[in-house]
Amino acid sequence: MFDIKSRKSDVVLINSISFRHTQTESSSISLYTAEGSFFDIATTEEEWAFVQNIDIEIGNRKGGYATVEFEIPVAISAGSTRAFYIASPGKLISGHHEEEGADYLAIDDTLIIKTRARIVGSQLFGGGMKGSW
């Protein structure tokens, strides 16, 4: 789970998300989204809207990249935050920003990808894995 915040005065459309995955074979991914931050709704399934399922191939490379192209773009309203959850039977590899005190993983003129992604354990919308905060 992670948050993306819009920095624009117009709606921003997200067409795809790329991420690293620890599976070395194919994996089935389910993508969910919700308005606002995931912090208060991480384990509350009814707060999340299902986006789509997709099968990915990592190509026998642990930590390989995968990209999910959305069938319908996900809109982020001007100046607002939207949470995303990439549900997977394997572990995703999350990142963190090295800059002291930074509250984002990436930033540009359009979006801020917030830090401290939550890695969920084996149960959908379950508790976070140790060390995932």
Does residue 127 form part of some domain?
no
pTM: 0.80
Does residue 119 form part of some domain?
no
Percent of the chain with pLDDT over 70: 70
Does residue 29 form part of some domain?
yes
Range of the domain at 88: 2-114
The upper half-sphere exposure of residue 7, i.e. CA atoms within 13 Å in the direction of its Cβ, equals 10
Does residue 122 form part of some domain?
no
Q: How far apart are CA 75 and CA 56, in angstroms?
A: 23
Q: For the chain, how many structural domains are there in total?
A: 1
First and final C-alpha spacing in the chain: 11
Q: Are 132 and 117 in contact (CB under 8 A)?
A: yes
Does residue 132 form part of some domain?
no
Residue with tokens 């917030």: 114
Percent of the chain with pLDDT over 90: 23
* Residue 127: both structure tokens together: 């508790």
Average pLDDT of the segment spanning 99-128: 70
